[in-house]
Each structure stands twice: as C-alpha cells, then as structure tokens.
Amino acid sequence: MEIRKDSGIMKWILIGISFLFLGVFLLLPLFYIIATAFRDGIGGYLVAVTDEYAIKAALLTLKATLISVLINTFFGLAAAWCLTKFAFKGKKILSTFIDLPVTVSPIIAGLIYVLTFGRQGILYKYLDPYGIQIIFAVPGIVLATIFVTFPFISRELIPVLTAQGTDEEEAAALMGAKTFTIFRKVTLPHIKWALLYGVVLCTARAMGEFGAVSVLSGHLRGKTNTLPLYIELLYQGYDFTGAFAASSILVIMAIIILILRLLLQNKGKREV
Amino acid sequence: MKKKSIIPGFGLSFGITITILSVIVILPMCSLVVFASKLSFSEFLYTISRPRIMSGYFVSISTAFFASLINAVMGLVLAWVLVRYEFPGKRFLDGIIELPFALPTAVAGISLTHMTTTNGCVGKIFYDLFGIRIAYTRLGITIALIFIGIPFVVRSIQPVLEKIDLQYEEAAYILGADRKTTFRKVIFPEILPALISGFTLAFARCIGEYGSVVFIAGNTPYETEIVPLLIMAELQEFDYSAATSIALVMLFIAFVILSVNAIIQSRVSRRVSGIS
C-alpha cells in the first residue's frame, strides 16, 4: 500500500483544489440562492412563496412530474424486462432510440413536439376537431417532461438485470409461475433499489426541466407556468426576492434528492 | 443459441415498450424528418449561413469546448482525489458533485447571473479589481457550462480509476519509474478513454444547454447568442422552417461528436481485448 500514497504536500494541494473548485462553482451559487431569498427577511420570503401564482406553478410542476415519473416507471420496467430477458433482432436499435432523448437539446425536444402537434403538424388535423390542444397547454408540458426524462429509469434497471441474468426467471417459469408472479417475486426484489434510484433521478430532472417546457408552454400565469418558468418570469420582472424564494423550493428538493441518492446507493451496495 | 425463451411476457413487454416509445420519441422524430424534407435546400442553406446564425454556432461550440476542457482537467483531479485519498469531508465532496443534475438549470442560471453582474457580490470584485465583466459575456456562458458539465467527467473516470490494478503501479515503481512517469505512462493511458468519453458527453450536453445559459448570456446578437436561443427566437416568431433548419445542423453536430467518441471507444476496446 505504500506507493499508493503521494507525498503529503501533493495530496493536500489536490484536495484543496477540489474543495475550492466545487466550493466556488457549486456551493456558492447554492448559498447565494438561499441568502437572496431571505434578503427581505422571513416575512418577505413567506409572502413570495405563498403567492397565489407561485402555488399554482408548484402544483403544475408537481402534476407534470408525477405523471412523467409514473409513465416512465411503467415504460422503464417494460423496456428493461424486454431488453434483458429476451433475445431478438433490433435490440441495439431499440436501445438507441430509448437513449435518444438525453442527447437531444431540450429546445429541439420542444421543437419536435411543436412540429408534431402544432398547426402545421401531422396530427393537428386529427386532434383539432375534438378540441384537443397539446402545445401551449398542459398536455404539451407533460409530454415534454416525459421526453426529457424518458430513459432515466430503464437505464438504471438494464445493467442490474443484465448482471442478474435469466436463470432465476427461467426456473420460476419452468415451475409454472405466471408472468406477474415471476416479476413480483423474482425480478422485483433484485431491482428495487435501482428502480427507486431511477425514480429519484427522474423526479429531479422532471421537476427542473426548463428548455423543452418553455417551448411548449403558453406562458399563461397560473395556467401553463411551471415553477421554473414562473421563476424566469419573476426574474425578468426584476422581482429578485420572489425569483430566489421560488428557487429555494427547488433547491430544497435538490438537496433532498442528493441525500436520497446517497442513501439508496449505500443500500444497493450493501445488498450486493 | 435458442431463440425461444421460456420466460413469459415477451409480447406484453415488447408491445408496451414499442407503443410508448413510438408516441414519445419515434413519432415526434418522424415529424421532424417529414417537416425537414419539405424544406427547400436553398432556403435551408440561406437560413443556416446567415451571419447571425453562424456566429451563434461559433459562440455555442467555442464556449462549450472551453468549458468541457476545464471540466476534463478538473474532473480528472476530482476523480483522482475521490478514489485515491482519504480525507475528512470526502463523502460530502462526492455527494455534491451530482448537484448540477439535481438542481434545475434555470435556478442555477439565475443564481450565477445575479452573482456575477457588475453589481453582484462576485461580479463586483472582478469588475473593480480587474475590469473583467462576467455576466452577459462569453466568459459568463463558459462559467454556466462548467457548472452543468462537472459531473460528466468525474463520473466517467471514477469507476475506471477504482478498477486499475495496483500491480501495474508497483511494477513501474520497482522498475525505477518515479510517480510522474508512472502516472504518465501507466495510469493515464488506462483512464484516457474514460476521459475522452466524459469530455464528449459534457461537450454534447453543453452545446444544447439552454436553461442555465440563457440568463447569463445576455443574448447580444453576434456576441453572446447561443444556438438553442436562436432556435427559440425563431419558434417565437412561428418561423418553423428556420427553427428546423438550425436544429438539423445542431443535431448533426451532436451526432458527429457522439460518433467520434463511439469510434474512439471501440478502437480502444479492440486494442484492450485483442478482438478485431
């Protein structure tokens, strides 16, 4: 083990650089948000976060996040099961398509939905007679949120399921277990921490999505403004206390997510 | 190898996967292709070669490149420190690296901007002492992109560095190499593929980044206008042809970056595994 140790000075210089770098680039902006949110005291903060429109924006964000996490969990489980338990042609293409959304800029994600459901889009003429509006409305926001978080859960599950192999499921199937019994009793216990971890990541990203939602939202205060869009609106209106107070809600959520992530990772590691 | 699996549920899971994938990803992507095919080529060329758009590409690519370069160096240092050293606060340091993933980009954007304007707590110091403006310049864009890209390089290198067998270093040490030579000749070649992979992932992400950059950029034409913002501007004027043209070039750039990485990675794995 001796050669693994650097000379003391080098070690502490590198550690110092690391703390300095992360301190300046990550922690400083974080503390700045909290400090600015409370600039006008607790009273000002409470007024800002209990504003009628702030609450409506938070509820919309909650709704979009909830729907996308549910759909992506359902999809992630099906896709991971399908991709890891069976051999079939076109697997590679399928997994490339699933991963595609994370490599696309959020603005382009918004653009492709505008092109699909907008006035010039291919689906507009089928949806319009029924009065279904997707873009510049809540369904567009939800779709955009699903898109940007699309592979988050399946990507966490696939490595775990690949490592686990198919022996146990085959044994269960031979003994006559039905699909859902196999899934519940054999597969799920293996992936539960990875699944929870994926859900946490998905929630984090869904809550904060800005670019894609910004394209598809009609920017109607109280109707199609999510929390990040509401923050933008306040900031551009020079209401800095309000913007940072609303941001602090998302900061607290981000910190909770980081703590959950650490806990889940440790739990997953301990079981393996 | 047998094709038919004994495990049930293939039809069901495949059906669900394909259905949701089609609605969320394939259908919108197809409508992009359909819409793009209707564009006239001369119009496409005219749109993407407008000076304002060209300078947008330059600003986006150059700032993303420098930010990713800085992140590559700092990511290497961070991964090294986290894997090789024991020190108080290590778990805390490891935990906060993920912050840019968890914190909404718009929140990061307004915080960085408000801090670095010439009236902000950090910006004031730099402006008064050195005459450097941070917010509303390319420097500001680069800083926002550094924030976004931090986790990519660290998380690519960390697992590889953890797996490197200590025997190689011991062998190099016994053969008389000092620490610098050991790092350069033994460790660095091992982690280089992961470093490149992290760099390209960060680079691709930074080029498309919108939320954190849009506030700090200031959006002065020819100076600090990034490509995603130009697409957004065209969309707000309902000029979908122009927006699609600019987006196609951007998708192409992202595709090239990721392909270069894929080629490098497959070369490396071939070299390591010996299978050609």
Q: Say yes or no: A147 and A29 in one domain.
A: no
User: Are A160 and A218 in a shared domain?
Assistant: yes
Structural domain that includes position A25:
1-37
Q: DSSP for chain B?
A: --SS-SSS-HHHHHHHHHHHHIIIIIHHHHHHHHHHHTS-HHHHHHHHTSHHHHHHHHHHHHHHHHHHHHHHHHHHHHHHHHHH---TTHHHHHHHTTHHHHS-HHHHHHHHHHHHSTTSHHHHHHHHHH----TTSHHHHHHHHHHHHHHHHHHHHHHHHHHS-HHHHHHHHHTT--HHHHIIIIIHHHHHHHHHHHHHHHHHHHHH--HHHHHHHTT-TTTT--HHHHHHHHHHTT-HHHHHHHHHHHHHHHHHHHHHHHHHHHHHHHHHH---
Express each pLDDT in B98-127 by its tens digit: 899 899 999 999 999 999 998 888 888 899
Report CB contact under 8 Å: A250, B107.
yes
Q: Which of residues 115-154 of A touch B (CB under 8 A)?
A: 115-116, 118, 120-123, 143, 146-147, 150
Instruction: Give the residue-averaged pLDDT of B219-231.
Output: 90
Q: List CB contacts (< 8 A) between B258 and chain A.
A: 103
Report the CATH number that the domain containing residue A129 is assigned in CATH. Answer: 1.10.3720.10
Q: Write the DSSP assignment of B205-222 as a string of letters.
A: HHHH--HHHHHHHTT-TT
Total domains in chain A come to: 2
Judged on CB neighbours under 10 Å (0-12, 13-18, 19+), B106 is buried
* B126/A contact by beta carbon, under 8 A: no
pLDDT band per the 50, 70, 90 thresholds, residue A19: very high
The two tokens of residue A166 are 């198919």
Query: What is the pLDDT at residue B1?
Result: 42
User: A203 to chain B: nearest residue by CA?
Assistant: B102
Instruction: Classify B176 in phi/psi space as left (phi over 0), alpha (psi -120 to 50) or beta.
Output: left
Catalogue all structural domains in chain B, each as residue range(s) with its CATH number: 32-271 (1.10.3720.10)
pLDDT for the residue numbered B105: 93
Return the percentage of chain B with pLDDT > 90, whole number.
56
Mark whether A4 and A124 lie in a shared domain: no
What is the pLDDT, as a whole number, of residue A230? 93
Farthest-apart Cα atoms in chain B, separation: 72
B30-49: average pLDDT: 90
A105 vs B1: CB contact, 8 Å cut-off? no
* Complex ipTM: 0.88
Rounded Cα distance, A74 and A53, in Å: 32
Under 8 Å between Cβ of B168 and B186: yes
Residue A264 has pLDDT above 90, yes or no: no
Query: Of B84, B96, B235, which has the smallest distance from its Cβ to A26's Cβ?
Result: B96
- Averaged pLDDT, B81-85: 92
**pLDDT one-digit tens code per residue, B175-223:** 888 888 888 888 888 899 999 999 999 999 999 999 999 999 988 888 8
Residues A208 and A91 in one domain: yes
For residues A151 and A208, state if they share a domain.
yes
Given an 8 Å threshold on Cβ–Cβ distance, is B106 in contact with A258?
Answer: no
CB within 8 Å: A32 and B28: no
d(CA B231, CA B71): 27
Find the residue in A nearest to B19 (Cα): A75
Searching chain B, which residue's CA lies closest to the CA of residue A238? Answer: B114
Comparing alpha-carbon positions, the chain B residue that sits nearest to A204 is B102
Find all residues with CB under 8 Å of A169, minimum gap 6, and list them. Answer: A85, A182, A186, A187, B7
Asked whether A261 and B106 are in contact (CB, 8 A), the reply is no
Q: Which residue has the tokens 């009609």?
A: A218
Statement to judge: residues A32 and A49 lie in one domain: no
- Cα separation, A189 vs A169, in Å, equals 12
Checking if the pLDDT of B249 tops 80, the result is yes
Same domain, A178 and A208: yes
Residue B276: the pLDDT is 41
Query: What is the DSSP annotation of B128-190?
Result: HHH----TTSHHHHHHHHHHHHHHHHHHHHHHHHHHS-HHHHHHHHHTT--HHHHIIIIIHHH
Same domain for A32 and A44?
no
Asked if residue A33 and residue A47 are part of one domain, the reply reads no
Q: A188 and A159 in one domain? A: yes
Q: How many CA atoms lie within 13 A of A83 on its CB side?
A: 28
B111–A contact, CB cutoff 8 A = yes
pLDDT at B4: 65
pLDDT tens readout for residues A123-156 = 888 888 888 888 888 999 999 999 999 999 999 8
Asked if the C-beta of B105 comes within 8 angstroms of chain A's C-beta atoms, the answer is yes
Alpha carbon distance B109, A59 (integer Å): 22
